[in-house]
Amino acid sequence: MFPAMPVTLSVDVGRDEQVLLVPRHDNTYASVGVVADVSERMRLAGRGLAVSLTALHRGIPGAASADADGVLRVDVEARPDERPAGTLTQELEREYRAVVDEILELRGDDGRIRAFVRSITDAGALADTAGYSPDLNFSQKLQLLETLDVVERLTLALALQRERLAELQVRKRIHDDVEDGTQKQQREYFLRRQMEAIRKELGEEDGSVVDEYRQKISATGMPDAVREQAERELGRLERMGDANAESGMIRTYLDWLLAIPWDKRSEERLDPSHARQVLDADHEGLDDVKRRITEHLAVRKLRSERGMTETRRSGVILTLIGPPGTGKTSIGESIARATGRQFVRMSLGGVRDEAEIRGHRRTYIGALPGRLVRALRDAGTMNPVIMLDEVDKLGADWRGDPSAALLEVLDPAQNHAFRDHYLDVELDLSQVLFVATANVADTIPAALFDRMEAIRFDGYTTDEKVAIARRHLWPRQIERNGLRAEEVDITDTILRVVVTDYTREAGVRQLERELGTLLRRTATRIASADQPSSVTIDIKAVRDALGRRKVEHEAAVRTAVPGVATGLAVTGVGGDVLFVEAASMPGKGGLVLTGQLGDVMKESARIALTYVKSHARELDIDERALDGREVHVHVPAGAIPKDGPSAGITMVTAIASLLTGRPVKSTVGMTGEVTLQGRVLPIGGLKQKVLAAHAAGLTEVIVPERNQHDLEDVPSEVRERMHFHVVASVDEVLAVALETLEVAKAA
């Protein structure tokens, strides 16, 4: 019995028939040993001695002594097993045999061990058979040896065998669970399924990643097609497990699907009156965009009240086109606040990668959805206001054309089924209110611009700038510079001085910077106790802080001599006034052009010279005046590229003024394209040009006849202060623009 235990012979087996076997571990002897008979003795090769022992019963060692021959003698208290009476022992024996039978069945016994166990009738000996188990460790076997009571020993043996049986059953269950899938999966899959089965036995399966995703997908109001896609990806994740390298990509994909607010929408406030109040409170002017937003809300309100369903083409794509600083971007926030929607801004300036709009395909490392998907995630609703800022500055290169990718986004007939490359599911963008901004419309591709509803931001009048400064810029700069409203005050007259003498822009950014400079100087003086805590800004304080005036009304000085005409142009920053100068000099004839002019302006200059030469007699010009002379046409600010046909009549007027000796009226500005026959053709950007002329101190503007209807867009306060000459030919232009001969001679 106990063949796997280390034992120590306590007596000389050469002379005694019985010995005491005591287990030893770490130089420590057990408190109970086994008394055994020496049944056989034999000599081995090399003069070694071998004995055969038969265990009899347990014994408790007592006092030990050595005899004269050096043999250790031990007093042993014999503890043979007593056969217990009662049915408890019989029940334990039957259950023990049953457990051992199940263990042997799971381990694949051939029947010999089962027969050996059944042949044992003594309860104590039956319990001692547990010591043969290779799965018991030393301490368990020692505990079994030291249990003297038969019932307790049998109970302990039964408990140990039950543990072995449970372990074998778990192994068998794991093996059975995995066996069905081993034909399709590799060894790694087999081991992973074992881990899952072990977690299941430990009760840890409730917190698995797959179940967590499944619960989130069920709780998200995804469309059926999207839910099916998510379930397919979740099935792939479940089959491959967390250890696979692709599992991280699948989890990222599922996270993005769950991040989209599929069933969440802001409760839109369909109140046109409230929306107009909010827009009027936040922005001065801009009546066109305010009117369009209120119209949009009014239509939606009527359709909602009358039970009409929304159509797929009901989406609004507003495009605000105008110079910088005119409030295009900030009005998007006001629209969101007026309609009760969330607001998200997407800056598209310099974007050249199509994937920024449509997303990357999942085959690429580090793939992500496009900006529209991210905008919906940030907004948390499916009907936000999305500001597409600087849409005219989109680029294109070998990575694709982002402007072409926007065609589907901004088409109300298509964006209900927008498909992002990363998600590869349809997104309904028809409820999104898109607001795009641009400085100029010329650089927006025609196909994209066709899908937009353009609203022009042509700049502010002086009165509007003063009102904006009073209501918005001045309070904001007071707070930014650490002041209080009661500490500093400024009149509208002084604000007008800042507007007219220090800014010439369509927007108000430079105006806000000038006001910031003025308030910083004031804050410095207040902090240094150089002036009272309550200050009223006067003209002296403005000059001290901002220096001499930066804007001069120089039309009268520049046009005092013949050969200089005042033209009106539109640039990327709004309307502007430019002077066209002409001079003649001895030479071989021809035309010299300077001022970094584009091809169109160069053609306009050649057309102007040709017209003047061909109509010299009608203009009272000596037909031989240009013989042996060159004409030089220059447009100052040569560092700035200039192009466009609207300077045609200005160049004709400058050359005609030079050759007739009649100066151009200092109060007149002009714009219009010219033909070889002297027709004046229409131009664009009339409102911006008129506002620039008004800011420059001009009081008369010559405009083409076919642009007469555009004068309605000019603010009424500007129209009342200026006189407009509507012309159809160059003759009418020269009659209005040139001084009379009497005035020219008097000058």
Q: Which two tokens stand for residue 418?
A: 């927008």
Q: Is 307 left (phi over 0), alpha (psi -120 to 50) or beta?
A: left
Which amino acid is present at 712? E
Residues 6 or more apart in contact with residue 729 via CB below 8 angstroms: 678, 679, 680
Rounded to an integer, what distance in angstroms lies between the CA atom of residue 258 and that of residue 693?
56
Residue at 392: amino acid letter: D
CA 518 to the chain's CA centroid: 38
- Categorise residue 38: left if φ over 0, alpha if ψ from -120 to 50, beta otherwise: beta
Q: Are 467 and 536 in contact (CB under 8 A)?
A: no
Query: Are 442 and 405 in contact, with CB atoms under 8 Å apart?
Result: no
- Record the tokens describing residue 16, joined without a space: 């005694």
Among the listed residues 646, 657, 666, 687, the single catalytic one is 646
Give 9's DSSP letter. E
Pinpoint the alpha helices (H) of 393-460. 402-409, 446-449
**Cα angle, residue 714 at apex, residues 712 and 718 outer, rounded to 5°:** 125
Provide φ and ψ at 201, rounded to 5°: -65, -30
Distances (CA, A) of 590 to 55, 587, 620, 628: 134, 8, 21, 9
Q: How many CB atoms lie within 10 A of CB 49?
A: 10
Q: 490 pairs with which residues across the strands?
A: 537
For the chain, first and last CA: distance in Å? 139
Active site (annotated) includes residue 689: yes
CA within 13 Å, CB half, 295: 9
At 83 the three-state DSSP class reads coil
Enter the DSSP assignment of 203.
T
Separation CA 622–CA 298 (nearest Å)? 66
CA distance 594 to 588: 18
Spatial contact of 635 and 680, defined as CB atoms under 8 Å apart: no
Question: How many CB atoms are closer than 10 A to CB 319?
Answer: 24
Q: Which residues contact 7 (CB under 8 A, 6 or more apart)?
A: 21, 22, 23, 24, 34
Cα–Cα distances (Å) from 87 to 91, 128, 151, 175, 631, in that order, read 6, 20, 11, 38, 134
Radius of gyration, CA atoms only, the chain: 50
The widest CA-to-CA distance across the chain, in whole angstroms, is 161
CB of 521 closer than 8 Å to CB of 487: no
For 60, the enclosing helix (H) or strand (E) is strand 48-66
Determine the 3-state secondary structure of 128 from DSSP.
helix
Chain centroid to CA 359:
11
> 549-558 long-range CB contacts below 8 Å, 24 or more apart?
549/501, 549/502, 550/501, 550/502, 550/503, 551/500, 551/501, 551/502, 551/503, 551/504, 553/696, 553/697, 555/666, 555/667, 555/669, 555/696, 555/697, 555/698, 556/666
User: Would you call 10 a catalytic residue per the annotation?
Assistant: no
Sequential DSSP letters for 612-642: HHHTTTTTT--TTTTTTEEEEEE-S-TTS-B
What is the set of active-site residues? 646, 689
